Amino acid sequence: MLFEIITALSVITFLLVLYIKRSHTYWSRLNVPTAGRPHPIFGHVENPLSVKRGLAVRIKDCYDEFKRRQKKHGGIYLLAQPIYMPIDAELIKNILIKDFPHFLGHGFKFNEKVNPLAMNLLGFDGEKWKNMRTKLTPTFTSGKMKGMFKTLLDCGVPMIDHIDKLVLNGETLDIREIVSCYTTDIIGSCAFGLDCNSFKDPNAEFRTYGRKHMAPSFRTLLLQFSLFMLPDKIANLLPIKVVRADIEKFFISTIRDVLDYRTMNNSNRNDFIELFLEIQEKAKVDGTKMMTVEEISAQAFIFFIAGFETSSTTMTFCLHELAFNQDIQDKLRHEIRETYKKNDGELTYDAIMGMKYLDKVINETLRKFPPVAILERVCSADYIVPNTDLTLKAGTKVFISALGLHRDPEYYPEPERFDPERFSEENKAKRPHCSFIPFGEGPRICIGLRFGMMQIKTGLSMLLNDYRIFPDKEEEYNIEFDPRSFVSMKKGKVMLRVEKIGC
């Protein structure tokens, strides 16, 4: 019996190796260049079980190699799966904007029966995506953002009070933890209608479950593996839980409780929950299908993930850079303080949105540290790549390296240097359109872009108006990304010194 089992396993292994080896000739058969010899099993990525460099960094390596060889596009392999990589900015623009109907999906496929929180805008393709996007777009108008602005200011006050206490005690700050509490309070209030009070109670349920989901872990690596490396049909069949069961239960029950309370008490509040209730009322009037509690929970959850993690990491990276670049910090603080003066010592939505140098500083942060370093698309119909003989077959996955583009010396000389003036109108005009894509581009650009920028601008303005930021003596300038994290995140803490400054 043992002999038969060993024989069967040997045959299966042999056939699998043959299949992968055959698959690794896909691009050469189409005369598409590849990024060097692929690993016989894992392709152009490292073993996900012992990875030392994250997927984003490895994909950037492939981008750099194609660029060095002056290739406009190329092909790589994740396991046996061929991935198309456009390198030329014009090809990228075609895929994201001009020829978008051929690339409707992100390619994030999950078994919906075991993943109710994955039924969100990010995970939808085709008509499902279009219908949900249409429903949610009115949520993110400038008028709606203006209505939520006071909530952001209110969430900033406990942050300033908390830092004041730490400064009095002469403590070095883990700045990532502080801005994470700030963004948690904002998302908790705006997306879930909750007062989280993260600074008073760091172990509050909302903060605890959010931290659990976001913490880099071996589980995150496995999730990345299933998201990016497995064929969609296989990923869609496997009972892979995107969100842990206890976290899923907490978020769905929280939304259900808030919806019930609002409905029973006719309570109103300027937040996303109120807008979901408006969508429900409109569906009643129109006679269209209403969203289920699970669907509403899924949209609120993706707002939490996108709004919390991308904003907190961007603020963290920005403060890290400003600590090491005091001249830029001083120039930005001058603009912030002038804005306060012009508005009688207050911040307003219009004033925040009008700060030009703040825009440059944030954009330079997003260039150097794009929150989502790889944009994934899936070819939904056969597509002839312009000016080539290549036809991408329907179902082909496409990786666009935002990290590669953003650190490409052709577009950004000395890419490791932090220079906000790269985003002057004059310098922006010199670069191709899709050389800066921190939030994606085209019809699938991040729907929460306005909201994310608003909370980043508000938090940075409140912080830098009151404090000067310095690097801790142990803090190094060059940042190593955590390979276990799904978004761009520094490995380890970000320790900074903070000094209170006068008016």
Cα 185 to Cα 148: distance, rounded to the nearest angstrom: 13
Cα 370 to Cα 276: distance, rounded to the nearest angstrom: 30
Helices (H), 106-141: 126-136
Cβ(173)–Cβ(166) under 8 Å? yes
Q: How far apart, in Å, are the Cα atoms of 207 and each of 249, 320, 456?
A: 15, 23, 19
485: left (phi over 0), alpha (psi -120 to 50) or beta: beta
Contacts made by residues 419-427, CB under 8 angstroms, sequence distance 24+? 419/364, 420/328, 420/357, 420/360, 420/361, 420/363, 420/364, 421/360, 422/360, 422/363, 422/364, 422/367, 423/359, 423/360, 423/363, 423/364, 423/367, 424/360
Cα three-residue angle 238-239-242, rounded to 5 degrees: 105
Nearest to 221 by CA among 482, 44, 484, 491: 484
Half-sphere exposure of 194 (CA within 13 A, CB side): 24
413: Cβ contacts below 8 Å, ≥ 6 apart: none
Q: Is 379 annotated as a binding residue?
A: no
Cβ(278)–Cβ(262) under 8 Å? no
Cα 60 to Cα 368: distance, rounded to the nearest angstrom: 13
Cβ(300)–Cβ(441) under 8 Å? no
SS3 content of the chain, % helix, strand, coil (to 5): 55, 10, 35
Residues 307, 312, 315, 321: is their CA dihedral positive or negative? Answer: negative
H or E element, residue 467: strand 467-471
Cα 43 to Cα 216: distance, rounded to the nearest angstrom: 24
Binding-site residues sit at 446
Binding-site residues for heme sit at 446
